[in-house]
Amino acid sequence: MIYIVAAFHAEAKPLIEHFGLKKLYEPSKFQIFSGNDILLIESKEGIEKSSIATTFALTKFGAGSKDIALNIGICGAVENAFSKGDVILCNKIINHHSKKAFYPDILIQHSMKEATLESFMHPVKKDSLPVEIEGDIVDMEGAGFFEAASIFLPLHNVHCIKIVYDFLDFEKINPVEIESMIKQSIPHIENLINSLLKLNLEFYNNTPEIDNIPLLVNKLKNSLHLTAYMTNELESLLKDYIIRHKKLPDSIFEFFEVQINSKKEGKNYFDKLRKILLS
């Protein structure tokens, strides 16, 4: 699953349309859209709201280690090194207020510029820019999103993508312009998503036999009346055996049908099984 967190509907709308997402009508405090293995949540403005929405989405929909989380939205550029509409992948994200810094793992190639993002709790204008600012770009969500998402997902699967909207001298935000800028950035976002999916697919351990281990262990736990300690040991032994031999031991199936009448009998069967799995 790809989780996208956007603050405003103007930022979300082009993504909803492009990926063919449909509104979820489950009771929730958030606007959520889903489809094609993508879930988009609108967090509203601010570090805290972004953090809450991210946590809600990743827990409610059961995020796993191969899932991806992206925060997509507009930002202001501190430096004139950027142009309006530049799509930026953040390589460092700072919470201006807590001074905490976060570092996504950028393991794949991408077509975006890179920069340090600094997140504030309030809008930042050029004339009120703090002297100690380190970010090249500023926003109001990235740090909240990243801190929350990185609790649930590995760091290579959590990224902030920001599109330069202004140079901290804005007067009023124009939703139509934002929609258009997000729309133009979609090829870069799609490219990143595809590379991340490929990375997770190709290099994570995808052994089907290993995926079946919990099922096997549960069956053996019941048939042999195993203690919690024995169950843990069995799980580890089974995994090791499959990695070494690329298959299950043929004799394991006999153990599924065993009838146990005493604790001692169960232990004897377990010892026999352990011996097989250590070979």
Write out the binding residues for another protein, residues 153-192 only, by CB under 8 A: 153-156
- Say which residues have a Cβ less than 8 Å from residue 178's Cβ, sequence separation at least 6: 8, 10, 11, 74, 165
Query: Cα(164)–Cα(74) distance, rounded to whole angstroms?
Result: 6
Would you count residue 195 as binding another protein (CB under 8 A)? yes
Answer yes or no whether residue 54 interacts with another protein by CB under 8 A.
no
Contact region with another protein (CB under 8 A), list: 75-83, 159-167, 168-176, 205-213: 205-213
Backbone angles phi, psi at 116, to 5 degrees: -95, 130
> Of 202 and 250, which has the nearer Cβ to another protein?
202
**Which of these ranges, 6-14, 118-126, 202-210, 254-262, lies near another protein under the rule CB under 8 A?**
202-210
Q: Which two tokens stand for residue 148?
A: 């929350």
Minimum distance from CB of 155 to another protein (Å)?
5
Q: Does 261 bind another protein (CB under 8 A)?
A: no
The residue written with tokens 């055996």 in the block is 241
Nearer to another protein, 91 or 180 (CB): 91
- Choice from 17, 240, 254, 271 touching another protein (CB under 8 A): 240
**Nearest in space to 117 (alpha carbons), one of 99, 98, 100, 142:** 142
Interface residue with another protein among 174, 210, 218, 253 (CB under 8 A) is 210
Q: Say how far apart CA 238 and CA 244 lie, in whole Å.
A: 10
Smallest CA-to-CA distance from 49 within 124, 143, 133 is with: 143
Q: Is 160 in contact with 65 (CB distance < 8 Å)?
A: no
CA triple 106-112-113, angle to 5 deg: 90
Contacts of 30 (CB under 8 A, 6+ apart): 41, 42, 43, 53, 56, 57
CB of 121 to another protein, least distance (A): 22
Which secondary structure element, helix H or strand E, spans residue 116, and what is its range? strand 113-119
Residue 278 engages another protein in binding (rule: CB under 8 A)? yes
Nearest distance, CB of residue 65 and another protein, angstroms:
8
Q: In the bound complex, what is the minimum distance in angstroms from residue 225's beta carbon to another protein?
A: 24
Residue 51 in the binding site for another protein (CB under 8 A): no
**Restricting to residues 60-119, which ones interact with another protein according to CB under 8 A?**
91-92, 101, 103, 105-109, 114, 116
Residue 144 CB, nearest approach to another protein (Å): 17
* 158 three-state secondary structure: strand
Residues that bind another protein (CB under 8 A): 91-92, 101, 103, 105-109, 114, 116, 134, 150-151, 153-156, 195, 198-199, 202-205, 207, 210, 239-241, 243-244, 278
